[in-house]
C-alpha cells in the first residue's frame, strides 16, 4: 500500500514544508490542493511548476493528484468547465501527477440532468487527459456522494481517462457500506481518501481511528499497491487540531489496518 495526505490539512503551507512532512512521516505522495491560496495552482507559472516538481522530487515525494474544484455536473455552458479541467490536467502533467480531482456539483437539478452534464463533459475531457498521461477522477461528493451515483456517470462515460475518487466519508454519509462502495467503483477506482469524524452530525476532522468511520472495512477493500490519501479538512475547520503532529500516528494506524487485512486474507499456514 502507498500513502499520501492532502495539503488541505496544511492550508497555505510552503511546498517545501509539506514535502518535508511527507518524507519524515513515511508518506510517499501528496494530494495538492489546486487553489490560488496554495503554492501551486492552474495560474502558476512554468517556472513555479518546475521548481515545485524539483522540490518534491528531491524529497522523494510524488504528487498523487491535483485536487481541483471543477464541477462537471453543474448547470450552465460546458466551455468554462472544460477549460477549467484542461488547466488542471496541464498542471498535473507538469507535476507528473497521474490524477486530477473534480467534483460533481449537480446542485438542485434532477439526477438525470446532472448525470447528463457530467457524462457529456467527462466524455469530452477524458481523451485530452489521457493524452497528457492523466486520469480525471470524479469524487464521491455532494450531488453524487455515493459510489452508486458516481459509477452511474462513469459507466456511461466508459473511457480510461475518467475514473473515481472514493471519499470514504461521503459514501458513508450517503448510507453505503464500504463493501457496497467498493463493488460500485470496481474498474473505476483511482484512489481512496480516508478521514475520520465523530458522527454524521459532527464533521470536525479527527485523527485517524478516533471517530466513527468504518476505516478498517474500507482499507481492507483497497487493491494491493493502491493509494490511501488522508484528507484532513483543516482548511474548513480551523478549530481542528494541527495536522503535523498527527501524521505519524495516522500513518501507523493505516499500516495496522493494512497488516490486519492482509493477515485475514493470507492462507493459514498451520491449517
Question: Residue 268: inside a domain, yes or no?
Answer: no
What's 29's domain CATH number?
Answer: 3.20.20.150
Question: Residue 269: inside a domain, yes or no?
Answer: no
Q: Mean pLDDT throughout 232-246?
A: 96
Q: What is the pLDDT of residue 269?
A: 43
**b (16+ CB within 10 A) / e for 124-153:** bbbebbbebebbbbbbbbbbbbbbbbbbbb
Q: What is the pLDDT of residue 265?
A: 77
| Number of domains observed in the structure of the chain | 1
Question: Residue 27: inside a domain, yes or no?
Answer: yes
pLDDT greater than 90 at residue 214:
yes
Range of the domain at 47: 2-263
Give tens-digit pLDDT for 122-173.
999 999 999 999 999 999 999 999 999 999 999 999 999 999 999 999 999 9
CA–CA distances in Å: residue 103 to residues 55, 65, 127, 142, 144: 28, 14, 18, 8, 9
Question: Residue 271: inside a domain, yes or no?
Answer: no
Give tens-digit pLDDT for 50-84.
999 999 999 999 999 999 999 999 999 999 999 99
DSSP β-bridge partners for residue 99: 65, 135
Q: Mean pLDDT throughout 104-114?
A: 97
Residue in 91, 11, 7, 12 with CA at minimum distance from that of residue 49: 91
Question: Residue 116: inside a domain, yes or no?
Answer: yes
The predicted model scores a pTM of 0.96
pLDDT greater than 50 at residue 264:
yes
Give tens-digit pLDDT for 110-130.
999 999 999 999 999 999 999
Q: Mean pLDDT throughout 174-187?
A: 97
Question: Residue 47: inside a domain, yes or no?
Answer: yes
Q: What is the pLDDT of residue 168?
A: 98
Question: Residue 270: inside a domain, yes or no?
Answer: no
- Whole-number Å distance between alpha carbons of 208 and 230: 8
Q: What is the pLDDT of residue 266?
A: 73
pLDDT greater than 80 at residue 217:
yes
User: What percent of the chain has pLDDT above 70?
Assistant: 98
Question: Residue 96: inside a domain, yes or no?
Answer: yes
- Whole-number Å distance between alpha carbons of 147 and 66: 21
- Whole-number Å distance between alpha carbons of 5 and 27: 7
What is the residue-averaged pLDDT of the chain?
Answer: 96
pLDDT greater than 80 at residue 267:
no
Amino acid at each position: 500500500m502507498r500513502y499520501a495526505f492532502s495539503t488541505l490539512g496544511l492550508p497555505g503551507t510552503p511546498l517545501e514544508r509539506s514535502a518535508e512532512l511527507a518524507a519524515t512521516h513515511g508518506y510517499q505522495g501528496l494530494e495538492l490542493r489546486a487553489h490560488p491560496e496554495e503554492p501551486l495552482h492552474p495560474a502558476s507559472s512554468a517556472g513555479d511548476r518546475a521548481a515545485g516538481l524539483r522540490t518534491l522530487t528531491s524529497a522523494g515525494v510524488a504528487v498523487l493528484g491535483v485536487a481541483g474544484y471543477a464541477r462537471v455536473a453543474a448547470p450552465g455552458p460546458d466551455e468554462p468547465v472544460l477549460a477549467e479541467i484542461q488547466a488542471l490536467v496541464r498542471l498535473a502533467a507538469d507535476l507528473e501527477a497521474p490524477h486530477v480531482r473534480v467534483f460533481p456539483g449537480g446542485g438542485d437539478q434532477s439526477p438525470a440532468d446532472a448525470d447528463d452534464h457530467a457524462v457529456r463533459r467527462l466524455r469530452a475531457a477524458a481523451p485530452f487527459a489521457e493524452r497528457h498521461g492523466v486520469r480525471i477522477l470524479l469524487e464521491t461528493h455532494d450531488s453524487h456522494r455515493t459510489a452508486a451515483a458516481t459509477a452511474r456517470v462513469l459507466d456511461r462515460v466508459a473511457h480510461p481517462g475518467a475514473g473515481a475518487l472514493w471519499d470514504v466519508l461521503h459514501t458513508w454519509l450517503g448510507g453505503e457500506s464500504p463493501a457496497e462502495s467498493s463493488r460500485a467503483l470496481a474498474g473505476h477506482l483511482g484512489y481512496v481518501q480516508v478521514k475520520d469524524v465523530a458522527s454524521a452530525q459532527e464533521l470536525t476532522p479527527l485523527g485517524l481511528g478516533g471517530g466513527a468511520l468504518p476505516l478498517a472495512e474500507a482499507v481492507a477493500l483497497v487493491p494491493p499497491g493502491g493509494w490511501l490519501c488522508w484528507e484532513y479538512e483543516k482548511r474548513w475547520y480551523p478549530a481542528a487540531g494541527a495536522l503535523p503532529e498527527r501524521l505519524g500516528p495516522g500513518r501507523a494506524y493505516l499500516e495496522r489496518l493494512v497488516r490486519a487485512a492482509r493477515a485475514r486474507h493470507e492462507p493459514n499456514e498451520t491449517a
